[in-house]
Amino acid sequence: MKKPFQSPYFKWGLTAFLVIFFSICFFFSIFKMSGLFSAIKTFIGILKPFIYGAVLAYFVLPIYNILVKKLLPYIKKLFKSEKKAVSFTKMLCSIISVFFLIAIISGLISMVLPELATSILGLSTAMPDYLTELSDWLNITLKDNIDLQNNLMRIYNQFSDLAVAWMQNDMLPKLIEIMGGSLLGTVNMLKNVVVGVIIAIYMLCSKDLFAAQAKKMIYSIFNTKRANLIIKNFRFVHKVFGGFITGKLLDSFIIGIITFFAMTILNMPYIILISVVIGVTNFIPFFGPFIGAIPCSLLVLMIDPIQCIYFVVFILILQQFDGNILGPKILGDSTGLSSFWVMFAILIAGGLFGFVGMLIGVPLFAVLYSLISTIINHSLSGKNLPTKTDSYMFTDHINPETNEPVFFKDEKPSQENGISIK
């Protein structure tokens, strides 16, 4: 006897329902775009505590796993029931992990934010004097070349006017708004953070249960082979995102610390401000070093042009060290993407989702890239065609009878040029 959900009538009904549902969604997305975005924004606002909690739990997951592994054998000795020992260990490790991260973030904020605010406020006050000194230096340096001096000074005057106006009319008001803010907004954010911390603790304690429930649901919907593939892909997603985010956090923190000590030794201005900017922007692959180095170089240039040259040289050396030694050592090949696809992912995700898109664009695209590659290779395997990309490097066409590549006449694929036909 067929089960109800295996009946053809059920499948036709389900198909019709999905078609109607997605047609309605498509209609609203086209003709009711503003209302749709407003509803999504409201829904995300309601879910903010859960989003904060999920992000916090995901970041402390490695710490939680290590603590559970280390503490569980000792706590088992204190309880007669193994179930109670496991439950207590999970709760204890969840609380320790979450508050450990909160303590680190609070300590960094308490050290960095006052210095950061002081640097920015001091910069806004002293910027006109710095610009005047830089103007005098340019006039003295270029006094023998009047034409070049006039052209550069015209560009410089336009830049200085824009810089002062932006600093005083745009940046400072926003900084004051962020640091002060409305009472209602501050209370609401504090409420979301507190609830998010509680949710993170519960998520960590129940992560095994949530994983088991998700597997149960997947195996109930799909056949065993497809369910195994879905679970395998979810593990791959976790591996890519977890490896990339935690690795980049550690890498950016180390780069920020190196910048702080190097600038202290070189006696450069705005040490805290520039170290934070370099560390934060370093989290963005490929474009991050340029995004952080350009404004920081301009800040140093306004104080001392010679020190600006030293700073640019230091940043170049630092980024070479990070790109060739530190970064690969920490991240390894966590994404498996070439430089071209990294740049593509950052530009597309950054254009769609702004700064957040630039942060998550690379691991997200790595997952999509892997999924598409798996589908393509599966299709080729089903047709008994080669799955290695190198096999198509010098291929003119595929022999329809033997399914073997036929190469261009003037090309001879071999091991020397990296071609291996399998």
The one-letter amino acid at 263: M
d(CA 373, CA 376): 5
Q: Are 292 and 281 in contact (CB under 8 A)?
A: yes
Residue linked to tokens 């498996």: 336
Mean pLDDT along residues 361-377: 81
| Confidence at residue 185, expressed as pLDDT on a 0 to 100 scale | 54
Q: What is the pLDDT of residue 416?
A: 45
Considering only residues 185 and 273, tell me which one the structure prediction assigns the higher pLDDT: 273
Give pLDDT, residue 249. 80
Residue scoring higher pLDDT (171 or 99): 99
Q: pLDDT tens-digit profile of 51-74? A: 888 888 888 888 888 888 888 888
Identify the pLDDT of residue 124.
63
pLDDT value of position 340: 75
pLDDT at 422: 39
Q: How far apart are CA 334 and CA 98, in angstroms?
A: 25
Q: Any idea what DSSP says for residue 243?
A: H
Answer with the residue of higher pLDDT: 100 or 330. 100
Residue-level pLDDT at 166: 66
The confidence band for 187, taking pLDDT boundaries of 50, 70 and 90, is low
Which residues in 299-319 are b (16+ Cβ under 10 Å) and which e? bbbbbbeebbeebbebbeebb
- Strand, helix or coil at 406? strand
The pLDDT value recorded for residue 306 is 83
212 vs 184, more confident = 212
Does residue 30 or residue 82 have the better pLDDT? 82
Average pLDDT value for residue range 354-374: 78
State which amino acid sits at residue 122: G
Structural domain boundaries in the chain: 383-422
pLDDT at 46: 81
- State which H helix or E strand residue 407 sits in: strand 405-407
Q: What percent of the chain has pLDDT over 90?
A: 0
Residue 121 CA to residue 98 CA, distance in Å, equals: 33
201-250 pLDDT, tens per residue?
Answer: 888 888 888 889 989 988 888 888 888 888 888 888 888 887 787 788 88
Q: Which of 12-16, 164-168, 261-265 has the lowest mean pLDDT?
A: 164-168
pTM: 0.64
Q: Which residues pair with 397 in a beta bridge?
A: 406
pLDDT tens digits, residue range 265-276? Answer: 988 887 887 888
Whole-angstrom distance, CA of residue 30 vs CA of residue 18 = 18
d(CA 349, CA 361): 5
User: Are 131 and 164 a contacting pair, CB within 8 Å?
Assistant: yes
Stretch among 117-121, 194-198, 232-236, 383-387 having the lowest mean pLDDT? 117-121
- Rounded to an integer, the average pLDDT of 349-373 is 77
The mean of the pLDDT values for the chain is 76
Please report the pLDDT score of residue 370 as a whole number. 79
The yes-or-no verdict on residue 180 having pLDDT over 60 is: no
Whether 163 and 127 have beta carbons less than 8 Å apart is answered as yes
Instruction: Give the integer Cα–Cα distance in Å for 107 and 101.
Output: 10
Structure confidence at residue 421 (pLDDT): 41
Instruction: Give the model's pLDDT for residue 173.
Output: 61
Q: Note the residue count of the chain.
A: 422
- 410 confidence band (pLDDT: 50, 70, 90): low
